[in-house]
Amino acid sequence: MTELTTTSGQPVARFAFGTMQFGGKADEDQSRAMFDACRAAGIAHFDTAHVYTEGRSETLLGSFARAERDALYIATKAGYAGGASRENVLKTFDESRWRLGMDAVDLLYMHRWDDETPLDETFETLADLQTRGLIRHIGVSNYAAWQVMKAQAVAAKHGTRIDVIQPMYNLVKRQAEVEILPMCAAEGILPVPYSPLGGGLLTGKYVQGDKAGRLVEDDRYAKRYGVEAMHATAAALVSLAAELGTDPATLAVAWVAHQAAAPVPILSARTAEQLVPSLAGMDYDLDEALYDRISALSATPPPATDRLEEA
């Protein structure tokens, strides 16, 4: 399994923070407060992307990280808009480095699969960036398992490999268990999943009738998490958390981290106060019995076989 270290060689804790809200829902002061809360909790891995908040996320993260760059692990993404061509990857990555105020980053993801650009072109470009010392690790986000393995074979031709994958994974979105997480365990690829709280659903806020937030304000999230069974799982998690005297977000984060492939959950929030229950999940004592109990709150997806009667 890929092991992440800071540029100074120190191991990176098994949790990350996603800065998608920096410069958007979170203003500069709120963003700084979350960055500081993460550092106080021991998080060194920070995740951003070229497209987040029209570049403000990278700019703010870069300003916060500058004083302790060698103690951090910085990831960004390219290729969400404009595709994965060499020209677009190099252009947007240069913009990302300028915004971050960094000559190099620790991890560069391809943000999503691009059917239009040959994999040879994309991964030759990434290999070149790696050889030049501008990135340390290569990652992919939102790829299917077959796409990862196809790309991995191409990467090998260029003397490199995919080290990290960033899939969606949480208690109500468990498709990654079918092929992606088993692939990671078998191939030594580190899973760094986003949305451990299901866009806020697993915090319990919508169970309590909250009328604000992404599931209400963003059509994509409303569609993604608009399934009745998902809301029933969220309600059950709220009840279980109350029984245990903790927060549902704490359980949701700890559950993702406990999965057998040893994922690195990407925590996120809009304010430092909102982040507190997720940070508590980093140290929550989740034993196998409780893990199984939480898992039972949602449907386990069937394995990747057409012979389910033998599974």
Q: Does a structural domain hold residue 226?
A: yes
Sign of CA dihedral 226, 147, 21, 24: negative
> Average pLDDT in the 12-23 region?
96
Q: What is the pLDDT of residue 33?
A: 98
Residue 230: pLDDT over 80: yes
Residue 231: pLDDT over 90: yes
Q: Does a structural domain hold residue 69?
A: yes
**133 confidence band (pLDDT: 50, 70, 90):** very high
Q: Does a structural domain hold residue 5?
A: no
- Residues 6+ positions from 105 with CB-CB distance below 8 Å: 74, 75, 76, 96, 97, 134, 135, 136
Of residues 5 and 208, more confidence is placed in 5
Instruction: Work out how many domains the chain is built from and give that number.
Output: 1
Of residues 252 and 213, more confidence is placed in 252
Q: Which domain holds residue 253?
A: 16-310
Q: What is the pLDDT of residue 197?
A: 98
Residue 311: pLDDT over 80: no
Residue 114: pLDDT over 80: yes
> Average pLDDT in the 203-207 region?
90
Q: What is the pLDDT of residue 176?
A: 98
**15 confidence band (pLDDT: 50, 70, 90):** very high
Q: What is the pLDDT of residue 218?
A: 85
Average pLDDT, the chain: 96
Q: What is the pLDDT of residue 263?
A: 98
Would residue 52 show up in a list of annotated catalytic residues for this protein?
Answer: yes
Q: Does a structural domain hold residue 7?
A: no
Q: What is the pLDDT of residue 214?
A: 83
Q: Does a structural domain hold residue 232?
A: yes
pLDDT tens digits for range 20-63? 999 999 999 999 999 999 999 999 999 999 999 999 999 999 99
Q: What is the pLDDT of residue 213?
A: 81
**Distance, CA of 258 to chain centre:** 15
pLDDT tens digits for range 63-95? 999 999 999 999 999 999 999 999 999 999 999
Residue 306: pLDDT over 90: no
Q: How far is CA 296 from CA 70, 236, 256, 259, 293, in A?
A: 42, 10, 14, 14, 5
Q: Does a structural domain hold residue 279?
A: yes
Q: Does a structural domain hold residue 283?
A: yes
**At what angle are helices 248-258 and 288-295 packed, to 10 degrees?**
110
Instruction: Provide the b/e sequence for 153-163 (b: ≥16 CB within 10 Å).
Output: ebbeebebbbb
Q: Does a structural domain hold residue 158?
A: yes
pLDDT tens digits for range 149-177? 999 999 999 999 999 999 999 999 999 99
Q: What is the CATH number of the domain that holds 264?
A: 3.20.20.100
Q: What is the pLDDT of residue 310?
A: 73
Residue 209: pLDDT over 80: no
Q: What is the pLDDT of residue 216?
A: 82
pLDDT tens digits for range 271-291? 999 999 999 999 999 999 999
